[in-house]
Every structure is written in C-alpha cells, then in structure tokens.
Amino acid sequence: MFTLIIILMKQVTELTIDTEERLKGAIDLIFEKAISEPNFSVAYANMCRCLMGLKVPTSDKPGHFVNFRKLLLNRCQKEFEKDQDDDEIFEKKQKELEASKDDEERERLRVELEEARDKARRRSLGNIKFIGELFKLKMLTEAIMHDCVVKLLKNHDEESLECLCRLLSTIGKDLDFEKAKPRMDQYFNQMDKIIKERKTSSRIRFMLQDVLDLRKSNWVPRRGDQGPKTIDQIHKEAEMEEHREQIKVQQQLLSKKEGGGGGGGRVSQPQDEGWNTVPISKNRPIDTNLLSKITKVQSKSNTRVPLQFISLTYFEHSGRPATSTLNRFSALQQSGSLLSSSDSDRRVPQRYPATNNVSGILSKTEEHVCNMILTLCWYFLFIYFFTTVKRESAPTPPPSLPKPALSEEEVEKKSNAIIEEYLHINDLKEALQCVSELNSASLLYVFVRTGLESTLERSTIAREHMGLLLHQLVKAGTLPPQQYYKGLLEILEAAEDMAIDIPHIWLYLAELITPMLHEGGIPMGQLFREISKPLVPLGKAGVLLAQILKLLCKGMTPKKVGAMWTDAGLNWRNFLPKDEDVNKFVTDQKVEYTTGEETESKETSKKKVFSGEELSKQLDRLLQDKANNQRIRDWVEANLDEQQAASNQFIRALMTSVCQSAIICDNPYKVDAEQISQRARLLQRYLCDEQKELQALYALQALMVHMEQPANLLRMFFDALYDEDVIKEEAFYKWESSKDPAEQTGKGVALKSVTAFFTWLREAEEESDKD
C-alpha cells in the first residue's frame, strides 16, 4: 500500500492541476482518503508535503494565486470545527427517534443515529491523526496545535477527549520541548484532574492515563509504531529472516558433527574407548556389499598372516562384528539391516582384544605390536575423516552486502537526531562529522530542510547556530550549494502562508541565512539571486533581503555591506514588484547604503555602549563560531566607536576571550599555540602600545586567578605571546615590577610561576648585549 501511494504521488504531480477547482478536487480526494484510512495518514501527509508548493490562479481575483497548503489547512480546519454541525444533526435525528411510534421505524432511526455517530467519530479521529502528521512535517505550526489541544480539552465530552489522546500521542514529543513545558504541564495537569474526577467512562480514563504514562517515559511507546511498510521493506525483512534461519540450521548441523552426532535423529553415545561416532559425509558413501566378503581366518597354524588381513581378522576374532569398525562412521545407522540379531546383541569389547582370540596366528609380542599399530591407524584415520567432514560442512560466512543507500525518510530521521544533539551540546565539530557520515550527498537537502524547519520557531541563538552549521558544511565542501538551495527553497515557497502563524518569519529566515555570507560560504550575488526566485512573484523578496542586510550591519559597517551589494552587481529593481517605488522601499527599510548614499545620520553614528560583560559575551560568541580575524574586526568597527575600541575594558575583554579559546582542557592544562598564532594579528591590531600590552597582561593574570592558578599555564601563555611578538619585553618587565594596588590579587603566585621565564628573558638579553 505504501509503495502504491508513492507511485500514485508521482502520477499526481504529473497531472495538469492549473485551476482552483481542480486543486480543490485533488485536495478533497487526498483528505477523504487520509481520514478514512488513518493507518496510512503518514503516507498521505508525505504526499501533501510533496504537493505543498503547488499553486494556481484564483478564480475570483485575477493576478492572485492560491496554493495547495492554504486550501488543505482550510479543509482540515473545516473538518475540525464540524462538531457543532454534527451535534445539530444528531439532535434532530434523536427528536425524530423519540417522536416515532412505529417500532420498526424507531429501530431504523436508532441504527441510523448510531451509524452516523460512529462515522463522525471515525472522521474526527482520522482528521486529528492527519493534522498531527502534517504538523510533524512542519506544514502546521505549534500555535495551531496548541489551539487544537485547548479546544479539545475545553469540551469534556468523550469524543473530544479521545481525539485529544490521539493528537498528543501523535505530536506530543514534538510539542514537549523546554520552552513549551509550562504549557504542556497545564494540559497534563488538567488531564490528570479529569481522570481523578471519574466523570468519564473507564475507556477514556485509561486512554488519558496511557498518554500520561507515555510522557513519563519520554514519549517512547511500549510498542513500536506498527505502521504500513513498503514492499521493499517486507522483502528485505523476509530475506534477513531466511538468512538467519539458514545460519541457524548450519550451526546446528555443525554442532552435531562436532559433538559426534549420528544420523537418523539419534544422539550418539560415546563408546568405551571414549570416542564418539562420526557421521559419514554424503560425498563418501560406503558400499555395504563389501561387508559380506569379510570372512574369518580359519588357519590354526603358526603361519604369519600379512598385515593387510589383520585389519579384518582383528575385529572378527576380538568378538566384534566385522562391520563394527565402520560404526565409527555411522555405517551401522545406514545399513543396519545387514546385521544379524545376534550381532546387535553383542557386548562392545574393551580397547584391545583378548589374546586367546588370536592364538595360533600371532605371537604375544607381534599381537601387542599389531594392536598398537591398528589403534594408531584408526586414530589417524579418524582425525583425517573428522577434519574433512568439518571442513566440508562448515557454514560459509554470509557475504558482506554493500551498505544500502539511505532513503529520504531515514535521512530525515538521522538529521533530526544530529540537529537536536548539536543544538543541545553545541559541538560543531561533532555535528560536521555526523553529517559527513550520512554518505547521502544527493539527499542533503533533506538535512537543510529539517534544520530550517526545526529551528524556525526556536530562539535566536538556535537559529544562528543552525545557520553557522550550514555555513561550515558548505565551507568544508560537505554540503553542495545546490543541495542547500533545494532545501531552502522548500521553506521559502511556503513562507508567505506561514507568515500568518509566524509574523516575524522573514527575520527568522534572515537569521538562518545570514551566516552563509561569511567567508567561505556563498557569495552575496549568487545567494540573493537564488533565494529570491520563489519570492519575487509573491512580492516578498525585497523584505527578506532587507532583513539579511540589517543583520549583516550588526557584524560590519553599513559602508562595507553596501560595497558587498555593489560588488555583487545587485539592483533592487530585480527584487521588487514592478509597481513598487524603489526609493521609497530603500528609505523605509533604511538600506540607503546599498544605493551608494551616505547614511551616517545621528541615529546610526551613535553606537551602543557595551559593558565589560556584554563585550566578553559577544567576543566569546565570535570566537566559538570560528570567526576569522577580519570578521571580528568588522564587528568591532560596526559596533564600537573609536573611544570604546581603545578602552582598557575592551582590551581586557579581547585578551581574556582569546586566551580562554586557546586553553586545551587536558590534565594538566595546555595552551594551543596554533590558536595564539592565528589570533596574533588581531591582538597586535589593538595592543598598539606598551600601556595596552600591560592591560592585556593584567587580564591574563585575572584569568589565572579565576582558574585558581593552574600549574605552568601562565608560563606557557607568556612563551606563546612573546614568540608571536604580541607582548614585548618592556611590557613584561613593567608587569613584573608593577605595584598597582588594584592589580595585586594573585600577583605573588603569578610571579612565582613565571620566575623561570624572566630568568631566561634576562639571560637572553645579556647574551645579545655581549654579542
């Protein structure tokens, strides 16, 4: 069924749906199937996701378009709010039932009423399930879901509560994140109250309790999702099951042969000699006709018997059947009919035959030697035969199958896990590694789409981190720009409709896109032209680009942003509707710097004054984002005036942030000399005189005090800063002799830890003076 829906989906996308009437007809068909077959709601929701960007001109407003998503949501909302109409119909039928006096008529009306209620209930549950699946695919917003939950909780009737349980079971995990937990707690407290009041049926109370238990178990169901499977999945499972059965049978056969098990299903018993019977190989059949030719030696003379006959006479005269030698190889189990009844009753003899049985044939010494030779011969024969059987019957290891390519659904599932972990622990290196291990270059647009959808309504920091991850993926070559565009365009196509529920969507999208313009990302001209393609017909391209430019101005001066716009050859006329006044738009959006006009007004020239804590926070964020030195200088130039950029407060904040980023948290602590070397030019840019270098050393001293004076760490920093020519000798000596009372905290311990550094420094100077 699932595979058929995929085929059907391809056929639907190829249909000519060019009018509003046809689009509504297609939506009605999909919607009715989805709510009547809730087990396949996931498949139908995915079909809707593929058709989400479909749009047609409206029939009543020329020049305006209506899209698939908007009409589908209207259909879902209409069905969700249909309860009141259903209640009126049920009430009308109930009155007809009560007014009827004919028994047959009353029975007919009663059956019709029950069927109508059952049908309405099934439709409500199917609609709720479908709505939940649409939300999981980001076609509906959290606000809509919360509205649905509130409405269902308000009604206290059993149908609404059952729909509530179905909805929360479907989307509870996606709604229950940190920011929304207080609201979710209110829902579940109210559900718990309904259970304790015991005003509903036990069936509904148990359903409510199941949802409460589901949340307590972190939304992990006791039984996995038993949804429909594709034919390929069924075939793979069948092949795996067959393969496991074959291995199991081979292992059982091997274990029987290693344990000496015979044929016929009987468990072999060890002989008196301590050997087990060994099953004969199918490739080594025994000709049982030869057994009849074995005869006793009748001679009683002292004539010596050739050794080749001993192997026959030995077992015969020892009281064994002649064929007992072959018992070791299961011959008796295959040809037991050849044995006489008297033979089968004989007792198994000891290892060596009695001497009186071979008297007259061999002397005592010869007999003993022959017995030893025979024993060794049979022993080596047994070893040879046993290893041959084992080698022939050993199960061949299963061939290593090539790792199958991930499906789109699997990539989406893995992408969600990677993104959630990244946003939780903010380990950029780990996230880059995980994405590269997906090995699905042609499906990375799914990762982009999932990342944008999952962070669109989260915090600004989450969106910035997601944008940074995508930028680093493009910079590393893991994410091709075309895959980035493909994933981004799917969101942009639905952005206008989403703006109804997310009023600040253009700002949120800008926060996700702006990091891509950093060094190593995508050039401004190429990026802006691509992302504007689906937005120009909607008249929204200019709004998004203006938001991106404003965010860029927070990290660099407007003049530099304007230069980037000009160098990219961009023009507002290409992004705005034909009838819109470009000059008015530029002025309203305050992006005059893109037209080459001076924008240094009083408002823009007056920059915010940052506190020391705010400066440290901003610089730490830039360093954690692996910003290059030029980007940090652009941020300083854009946000700090000359006086603040030269202040001791900024120098200390910069030095502290750089040194913190260079600490390797091993035991003991170490300094990342490469990081200091990378940031040396940045520090030299602002530590432009001896006084500022001294302030930088004070900041480093305060950092050591804050870290409780780790052993040898200050010495390693001094070495690195001196080697990179960030701090000169004069500044070190001035710090050593400084008696500033405000800077004496931890000074004694710090001096003691760098005694060797100053000794080396003075000796080096003395040597240079002598030279």
Higher-confidence position of 102 and 293: 102
Average pLDDT over residues 656-663: 92
Instruction: Write out the H or E segment, with its range, that includes residue 572.
Output: none
Architecture of domain 613-769: Alpha Horseshoe (1.25)
pLDDT above 50 (res 411): yes
pLDDT tens string 736-764: 999 888 888 888 999 999 999 999 888 88
Assigned token pair, 739: 């008696």
* 414-424 b/e (C-beta count within 10 Å ≥ 16 → b): bbbebbeebbe
Q: Given this model, what pLDDT does residue 14 score? A: 75
* Least confident residue range of 353-367, 661-675, 747-761: 353-367
For the segment 431-436, the average pLDDT, to the nearest whole number, is: 90
Predicted confidence at residue 527, as pLDDT, reads 93
Looking at residues 445-466, what average pLDDT do you find?
90
Q: What is the pLDDT of residue 452?
A: 92
Query: Up-side HSE of residue 269: CA atoms within 13 Å toward CB?
Result: 3
Enumerate the β-bridge partners of residue 67: 55
Residue 403 has a pLDDT of 54
Calpha distance 224→470 (Å, rounded): 33
pLDDT digits (tens, 9 = 90+) for 498-549: 888 888 899 999 999 999 998 888 999 999 999 999 898 888 899 999 999 9
Average pLDDT on 615-644 reads 86
Q: Where in the chain is the domain with CATH 1.25.40.180?
A: 1-217, 408-594, 613-769
- Range in 335-349, 583-597, 690-704 the model is least confident about: 335-349
> How far is Cα 531 from Cα 550, in angstroms, rounded to an integer?
17
The tens digit of pLDDT for each residue in 588-629 reads 988 888 887 654 444 445 667 888 888 888 898 888 878 888
The listed CATH number (1.10.287.3510, 2.60.120.590, 1.25.40.180, 3.90.1170.50) that belongs to domain 408-594: 1.25.40.180
Res 703 pLDDT > 80 = yes
C-alpha distance across the termini of the chain, in Å: 89
**Residue 579: its pLDDT value, please?**
86
Higher confidence at residue 179 or residue 443? Answer: 443
How many Å is the Cα radius of gyration of the chain? 43
CA–CA separation, 771 vs 767, rounded Å? 6
Q: Is the pLDDT of residue 104 over 80?
A: yes
Q: Which CATH number fits domain 1-217: 3.40.640.10, 3.10.560.10, 1.25.40.180, 3.30.160.100?
A: 1.25.40.180
Distance, in Å, from the CA atom of 159 to the CA atom of 148, rounded to the nearest integer, reads 14
Give residue 388's pLDDT: 52
Read off the tokens for 706. 């804050």
Structure confidence by residue, pLDDT tens digits, 295-331? 444 444 444 444 444 444 444 444 444 444 444 434 4
For the chain, the average pLDDT equals: 77
Residue 65's DSSP bridge partners are: 57
Residue 396 has pLDDT above 60, yes or no: no
- Read off the pLDDT of each residue in 405-427 and give the average, rounded to a whole number: 86
- For 280, 289, 313, 316, the CA distances from 344, given in Å and listed in that order, are 20, 19, 19, 14
pLDDT at 246 over 60: yes
Quick check: 473 pLDDT over 60? Answer: yes
Residue 41 has pLDDT above 70, yes or no: yes
Share of the chain above pLDDT 90, in %: 18
Closest CA to 71 of 27, 105, 111, 112: 27
Q: Which of 224-233, 339-348, 647-656 has the highest mean pLDDT?
A: 647-656
Look at residue 367 and tell me whether its pLDDT is greater than 80: no
CB 490 within 8 A of CB 547: no
